[in-house]
């Protein structure tokens, strides 16, 4: 039986047990019969609830995504931080915080570093490895 169908059957049985328990408590007049029949139905509902709860919480996802390309991710992170740094230098130059000559030299150095990182990204692509320690 497929998992979804089994889950639906369990839910239907659980609801049916609750409804039956409510009907027993409401419709029957004899207190002893109400007590024992209600107790049996309540036990069935409790067992279904425990079983369904354990089943739903221990189920493994069908697809487990694990990060494997740590080296590539590190290079991409370096690339993005260099772009952020480049943006900051340009903004500082536009606001007059840095001298244009100093900013130009730093921008050229960042651009050179970006080219180096791109070559490192090309080398790191597709290489799975252990996480960095």
What are the tens digits of pLDDT across the range 93-125?
999 999 999 999 999 999 999 999 999 999 888
pTM above 0.95, yes or no: no
Runs of H (alpha helix) within the chain = 3-27, 31-58, 70-95, 100-124
pLDDT digits (tens, 9 = 90+) for 10-37: 778 878 887 887 887 788 888 888 888 8
Instruction: Say which residues have a Cβ less than 8 Å from residue 48's Cβ, sequence separation at least 6.
Output: 10, 13, 14, 17
pLDDT at 113: 96
DSSP 98: S
Cα of first residue to Cα of last residue in the chain, in angstroms, is 45
Tell me the torsion sign for CA atoms 15, 16, 18, 19: positive
Segment 60-82, tens digit of pLDDT = 555 555 678 888 889 999 999 99
- Beta-carbon contacts of 7 under 8 Å, excluding residues fewer than 6 positions away, are 52, 55, 56
Helix axis angle, 31-58 to 3-27, nearest 10°: 160
Domain boundaries, the chain: 3-58, 70-124
Q: Could you give the CA distance from residue 83 to residue 85 in angstroms, rounded to a whole number?
A: 5
Highest mean pLDDT among 10-14, 53-57, 73-77, 127-131: 73-77
Compute the mean pLDDT over every residue in the chain, rounded to the nearest whole number: 83
* DSSP 8-state secondary structure symbol assigned to residue 96: T
């Amino acid at each position: 039986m497929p998992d979804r169908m089994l889950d639906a059957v369990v839910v239907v049985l659980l609801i049916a047990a609750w409804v039956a328990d409510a009907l027993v408590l409401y419709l029957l007049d004899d207190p002893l019969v109400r007590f024992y029949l209600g107790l049996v139905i309540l036990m069935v509902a409790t067992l279904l609830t425990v079983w369904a709860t354990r089943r739903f919480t221990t189920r493994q996802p069908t697809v487990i995504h694990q990060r494997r390309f740590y080296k590539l991710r590190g290079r991409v992170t370096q690339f993005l931080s260099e772009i952020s740094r480049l943006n900051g230098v340009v903004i500082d130059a536009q606001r007059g915080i840095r001298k244009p000559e100093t900013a130009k030299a730093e921008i050229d150095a960042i651009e050179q570093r970006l080219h180096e990182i791109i070559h490192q990204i090309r080398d790191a692509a597709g290489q799975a490895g252990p996480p960095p320690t």
